[in-house]
Amino acid sequence: MPSLQHVVKDLLASGAVEVVIGYEKAPGQNRTRPFFARTPEDADRLVFDFSALNNLAVYLTRQKRPAKGKIGIVAKGCDARAITMLMQEQQLTRDDVHVIGMECSGVTAEMGADLSKDTLAAKCVTCKVQTPPLADTLVEGPKDYERPDDRNGARMRELEAMTPEQRFAFWAGEFDRCVRCYACRQACPMCYCEQCVAEKNQPQWIETSATLRGNIAWNVIRAFHLGGRCVGCNECERACPADIPLGLLNRKLGMVAGQEFGYAAGMDASAPTLVGTWDKSDRQEYIK
């Protein structure tokens, strides 16, 4: 069973890839940071454990890619789903990447914390992809972990029980804190547009100042743009300095995609995308 470092060393030494995107130890306890390994020696710096929280697939989007040639990437299940989705949306071809799939037993919600039932990231609570659905090389590892109650699931049911007015008031309260830093967009592997609709100013569809109206427009449009595409890596919520529970919004849209169309984003690179694909068997009762 080859280790991550061995796999990467071979890939870089043989010239199969130009760079491997992975994690290295960062200063402080239980912290990692993204690292681009470009030489076989760099491979020794790579680590993977419960603190490997980032979704590195964001570095595969065209404008952030660290190399022109083939890229290796260390990917947990959720990261691999994002890579798959990028393939489904023609942002990557299968030959552009060598995916080093990491079996995963959950990551911590906060950098620095030890992994426990209480610190487990929200996305890991309901995660079904401990083994990545897409991998050129699979690095086996522990896959079992203790899962706490689905706190967000309970919260979702509370929101669903609200009247539309109450729900709108809830989200208006959350979005009111948004400072329009666009960290959510920068962290998101699915936000690869070269010019975001938020930056379009002829005409300007979304108010750019951090006022409630523009904030609602921005966050709702972003959520809709992720409908049927979000793989649930929750990087947006993690990056948000205002603690807006964006993951809830995305999870709800993902649930609708699953319930209405039996669709889960990023599970199969050859599957059609949910949006933009018409099927005769689509339920159409919303067309009145």
Partner 1 sequence: MKIGVFICYCGENIGRTVDCAAVAQACASIPGVAVSVDYKYMCSDPGQNLIINAIREHRLDGVVVGSCSPHMHEKTFRKACSNAGLNPFMFEMANLREHCSWIHDDIAVGTAKSIDLVRIAVEKVKRNEPLTPIRVPVTKRALVIGGGISGIQAALDIAGAGFQVVLVEKEPSIGGHMSQLSETFPTLDCSQCILTPRMVEVYQHPNITLMSYSEVEKVEGFIGNFSVTIRRKARSVRADLCTGCGDCVQKCPIKKKAYSEFEEGLAFRPAMYVPFPQAVPNIPVIDRAVCTYYKTGKCQACVKACGRGAIDFEQQDEFVTEAVGAIVVATGYKLYTIDKKPDDSQYKGYGEYGYGVYKDVIDGLQFERLASASGPTGGEIRRPSDKAVPKKIVFIQCVGSRDESKGFSYCSKICCMYTAKHAMLYKHKVHEGEAYVFYMDIRSGGKGYEEFVRRAIEEDHVKYIRGRVSRIYEKDGKYIVRGEDTIAGMQVEIDADMVVLATAMVPQPESAVLAQKLGIAYDNHGYFVEVHPKLRPVECSTGGIFLAGACHSPRDIPESVSMASAAAAKALVLFGSDVLEREPVVAKVNESTCAGCFYCQKVCAYNAVERREIRDRAGNLRKVVAYVNEGLCQGCGTCNATCPSKSVELIGFTDEQLYAEIHALA
Which of 28, 259, 276, 284 binds partner 1 (CB under 8 A)? It is 276
Instruction: Decide whether 28 or 68 has the Cβ nearer to partner 1.
Output: 68
Instruction: Decide whether 91 or 250 has the Cβ nearer to partner 1.
Output: 91
Least distance to partner 1, CB of residue 174, Å: 23
Nearest CA to 105 among 27, 48, 165?
48
Which of 179, 181, 193, 256 binds partner 1 (CB under 8 A)? It is 193
Q: Which stretch binds partner 1 (CB under 8 A): 3-11, 161-169, 176-184, 270-278?
A: 270-278
Nearest CA to 100 among 51, 48, 61?
48
Instruction: Decide whether 169 or 193 has the Cβ nearer to partner 1.
Output: 193
Provide the mask over 201-220, with x wherever binding to partner 1 is found by CB under 8 A and - wherever it is not.
-xx-x---------------
Amino acid making up residue 192 = Y
If binding is defined by CB under 8 A, does position 6 make contact with partner 1? no
Give the SS3 label for residue 249.
helix
Question: DSSP assignment of 141-209, as one string?
Answer: ----------HHHHHHHHHHHS-HHHHHHHHHHHHTT-----HHHHH-TT---SS-GGG--TT--S--S
Give the SS3 label for residue 231.
coil
If binding is defined by CB under 8 A, does position 273 make contact with partner 1? yes
Nearest CA to 266 among 152, 140, 133?
133
d(CA 3, CA 204): 51
If binding is defined by CB under 8 A, does position 270 make contact with partner 1? no
Which of 117, 128, 143, 200 binds partner 1 (CB under 8 A)? It is 200
Provide the mask over 223-262, with x wherever binding to partner 1 is found by CB under 8 A and - wherever it is not.
--x-------------------------------------
Question: DSSP assignment of 53-94, as one string?
Answer: -S-GGGGGSGGG-S-SS-EEEEE-HHHHHHHHHHHHTTSS-G
Which of 144, 194, 243, 285 binds partner 1 (CB under 8 A)? It is 194
If binding is defined by CB under 8 A, does position 68 make contact with partner 1? yes
Instruction: Decide whether 43 or 97 has the Cβ nearer to partner 1.
Output: 97
Per-residue tokens: 50: 């419960």
Which of 41, 44, 62, 143 binds partner 1 (CB under 8 A)? It is 62
Residue matched to tokens 């010239």: 15
How many CB atoms within 10 Å of residue 245?
18
Least distance to partner 1, CB of residue 199, Å: 9
Instruction: Decide whether 76 or 225 has the Cβ nearer to partner 1.
Output: 225
Q: How long a stretch of residues is the chain?
A: 288
d(CA 86, CA 178): 27
The contact set with partner 1 (CB under 8 A) reads: 62, 68, 89-91, 192-197, 200, 202-203, 205, 225, 272-273, 275-278
